[in-house]
Structure 1
Amino acid sequence: MAKLRAEQLQASLKKELKPVYLISGEEPLLAQELADEVRASARKQGFTEREVLHVDRSFDWNLLLDSANAMSLFAEKKIIELNMPGGKPGTEGSKALVQFCDNANDDNILLIHSGKLDQSQQRSKWFKALEKLGHCVQIWPIKAAQLPHWIKQRLQQAQLSADPQAIEILCARVEGNLLAAAQEIEKLKLLAEEQHISSDLMNSVVANSARYDIFDLADKALMGDAQACTRTLQGLKSEGTDAIPVLWALAREIRSLNQIAHAQDQGQNFDWAAKNAGVWDKRKPLVGAALRRLNKAQLELLLRKANGIDKAAKGMRKADAWSELMDLCLCLCGQNSLHPSLQRLSLSL
């Protein structure tokens, strides 16, 4: 299965239609649009029937094989869509996917929707079987720094342009939510009297559709972006998010930083220490930036602070968990709101 970038899929579909397409990643809008491209191309070539299967813990993998072997009364060719959010088919699923590939025919196209696949999953037997037949398109999230360019491209596709300030306004309003950004651009197409969007028009049209994400909060804290970190944490709180999962995500990063710092003190280089701590290559710049900002004593204090917040969230300590989560985030960003001695005192209360 040749690995394609998202922007390469359309050109590939024009050349040849493969029997298998695997779209993996965690950005719903991009995944949906890529799947639409596959469906449109398949329909042009006579695949007029579509069957959708959803994989969960009780899923019967025989349904996939039965669907592939079933003769249709209404169409000769069929798209079989397999929604597999976890990306792990298990033992029975792996066997079924391998069997599907061994008996693939020209009357079926298998379109698999999956969550993010790690390296072990890409080395699995079922993935290798699919690899021989079709294409894999891996979707990477649009980072905050990439969002203005992405919005500019979407505006151009809609035959619109916008002031840089207008694009910044839309970025701030839909932070991380590509679907909301696409919807706002569709709205602008209808409401804009001219093709150029000013900041005033953008302000009056777009809604506040920010999507706040716990793991994005951890990334912003590692990045040292105190303003974005504060906004995201406040958004999570206003959406009714439980404090415990937020703490878990931040504490996990603090433990990794602490582990790497100790390993470096013992003579290990950063890359090896980060690997042993389970840090992916793509996240190493974030982790490295945080370690340059925080020393070992600060990291030890952050661990104690996280433990104190855990007790507060569980009612074992008199303190406001969300207020202390904010302080924890600011400390991770390198902006201490209290002197270390006062922080230790607050933890003893």
Structure 2
Amino acid sequence: MAKLRADQLPGALKKRLAPVYLVTGDEPLLSQESCDAIRQTAKKQGFIERELYHTDAGFSWDELYNATNAMSLFADKKIIEIRIHNGKPGDAGSKAILEFCANINDDTLLLLVSPKIDSRSQNSKWYKAIDQAGEVITIWPVGPAQLPRWVDTRLKQAGLNADSEAIDILCAKTEGNLLAAVQEVEKLKLVAEGNFIDAQMMANAVMDSARYDTFGMVDKAIFGDSRAAAESLQGLRAEGTEALALLWALTRDIRTLTNIKEGLQAGENFDLAAKRNGVWDKRKPLFKQAIQRHKLPQLYGLLRKTALADRIAKGSAKGDIWNLLLDITLGLAGVNVHSAKTARQEILR
């Protein structure tokens, strides 16, 4: 079965809902949107329950066996979502995935989410089993050459049109950060007079930014300036910035740091690892400094917190999203913050 790009997924979902999906790639926004589209389609077809697992310390692939075989009290169809943090399920995971694909259950949908899968893993039995039984959605990075077309498409989806010069201004403003581009498009929907955006209007819109900038806040945290990062976070909250938008920005860069750190430990050159993970040249010094400050267990811990924050933001877990975002921001800046309440929520997730 042919692999799908993210932009092909909506059409494929209209034709059929597959029993198993693998969403793989290193662009958090497109990965999140693909997962959301799968969940929404599944919900319309009766998949009401959702069980979420992360393959970090303490996870056992027996969870997949148990979740597949256990019937809920009301016998609802359910989604089993597993986040494979390093793209490698291991022997136990491979066996569990192969068994699931060989014994498809109409009442269970398996959604696997992973960073970019390497070529060796694409030749594995578990990957081929998913490709045969379901769908593999490969999230390709949007490079500088593709960004203008991507921005143009997003504008049209928002009911807006822009000339090429205006699109170039937006691309330069966001520097390849897709979430930032989406936020600017949402802003344009509010300020545009009519549906056409020319260069002057685009320049005025993108320069009329809030005092506190989402990605500036994340950069302060990566730099290690905990006080400034915390101040920016509180400022963004006061200005009405959505918590989920901040979470996406934090998750993106924490995942990028994790991928680079794993690459370095595997013997990869920093510049190559940074390029592979879409880090722009002017941000490389920030990431190099943060890489030296963080160890992998710390980064894995931050990713677990972002997963918890995602569940809280979407109403599937209880907690104070802003306190947790502050924990994540300070943790990224190098401050060890881990409240007992947060720990309990992670243990009981």
TM range (shorter): 0.5 to 0.7
Mapped to 1, the partners of 2:290 and 2:157 lie a distance apart of 40
TM-fit CA distance, 1:29: 1.0
TM-fit CA distance, 1:148: 0.7
Contact 1:48 1:75 in 2 (8 A): no
Contact 1:53 1:64 in 2 (8 A): no
Q: Match for residue 249 of structure 2?
A: none
Which amino acid counterpart does residue 20 of structure 1 have in structure 2? V
Q: Match for residue 158 of structure 1?
A: 158
Q: Match for residue 230 of structure 2?
A: none
Instruction: Write out per-residue CA displacement over residues 151-203 of structure 1, whole angstroms, 9 at most, x where no aligned residue.
Output: 01100110101232221111111112101111110111112122112323322
Contact 1:49 1:77 in 2 (8 A): yes
Contact 1:23 1:31 in 2 (8 A): yes
TM-fit CA distance, 1:105: 0.5
Which amino acid counterpart does residue 140 of structure 2 have in structure 1? W
Instruction: Write out per-residue CA displacement over residues 232-256 of structure 1, whole angstroms, 9 at most, x where no aligned residue.
Output: 444444x4741987xxxxxxxxxxx
Residues 194 and 218 (structure 1), Cα distance of their counterparts in 2 relative to 1, 3 Å cut:
farther
Q: Match for residue 88 of structure 2?
A: 88
Residues 168 and 96 (structure 1), Cα distance of their counterparts in 2 relative to 1, 3 Å cut:
same
Q: Match for residue 59 of structure 1?
A: 59
Moved over 6 A (4+): 210-215
Q: Match for residue 205 of structure 1?
A: 205
Mapped to 1, the partners of 2:42 and 2:127 lie a distance apart of 22
Q: Residues 99-138 of structure 1 correspond to what in structure 2 (within 5 A)?
A: 99-138=99-138
Mapped to 1, the partners of 2:195 and 2:43 lie a distance apart of 33
Which amino acid counterpart does residue 131 of structure 1 have in structure 2? D
Could you tell which deviates more after superposition, 34-43 or 203-212?
A: 203-212
Residues 28 and 234 (structure 1), Cα distance of their counterparts in 2 relative to 1, 3 Å cut:
closer
Contact 1:49 1:75 in 2 (8 A): no
Instruction: Write out per-residue CA displacement over residues 2-22 of structure 1, whole angstroms, 9 at most, x where no aligned residue.
Output: 412323222222222110011
- Between structure 1 and structure 2, the one with the greater Rg is 1
Contact 2:98 2:129 in 1 (8 A): yes
TM-fit CA distance, 1:75: 4.8
Residues 35 and 166 (structure 1), Cα distance of their counterparts in 2 relative to 1, 3 Å cut:
same
TM-fit CA distance, 1:54: 1.0
Q: Match for residue 7 of structure 2?
A: 7
TM-fit CA distance, 1:104: 2.2
SS across alignment from 1:82: strand
TM-fit CA distance, 1:37: 1.5
Contact 1:55 1:85 in 2 (8 A): yes
Contact 2:155 2:161 in 1 (8 A): yes
Instruction: Write out per-residue CA displacement over residues 257-293 of structure 1, whole angstroms, 9 at most, x where no aligned residue.
Output: xxxxxxxxxxxxxxxxxxxxxxxxxxxxxxxxxxxxx
Residues 115 and 242 (structure 1), Cα distance of their counterparts in 2 relative to 1, 3 Å cut:
same
Which amino acid counterpart does residue 242 of structure 1 have in structure 2? Q
Q: Match for residue 189 of structure 1?
A: 189
SS across alignment from 2:165: helix
SS across alignment from 1:85: coil
Q: Residues 246-265 of structure 1 correspond to what in structure 2 (within 5 A)?
A: none
RMSD of Structure 2 on Structure 1 (CA): 3.1
Q: Match for residue 289 of structure 2?
A: 242
Contact 2:165 2:199 in 1 (8 A): yes
Mapped to 1, the partners of 2:88 and 2:120 lie a distance apart of 10
Mapped to 2, the partners of 1:132 and 1:143 lie a distance apart of 30
TM-score of the pair, normalised by structure 1: 0.61
Identity of aligned residues (%): 51
Residues 74 and 201 (structure 1), Cα distance of their counterparts in 2 relative to 1, 3 Å cut:
farther
Residues 5 and 233 (structure 1), Cα distance of their counterparts in 2 relative to 1, 3 Å cut:
closer
Instruction: Write out per-residue CA displacement over residues 102-161 of structure 1, whole angstroms, 9 at most, x where no aligned residue.
Output: 332100000111111122101112112222310111111001011111101100110101
Which amino acid counterpart does residue 83 of structure 1 have in structure 2? R
Could you tell which deviates more after superposition, 40-49 or 194-203?
A: 194-203
What is the number of equivalent residue pairs in this alignment? 237
Structure 1 unaligned regions, length at least 5: 223-230, 246-349
Contact 1:155 1:161 in 2 (8 A): yes
Mapped to 1, the partners of 2:57 and 2:124 lie a distance apart of 19
Q: Match for residue 173 of structure 2?
A: 173
Which amino acid counterpart does residue 72 of structure 1 have in structure 2? S
Mapped to 2, the partners of 1:159 and 1:195 lie a distance apart of 7
Contact 1:24 1:139 in 2 (8 A): yes
TM-fit CA distance, 1:89: 0.6
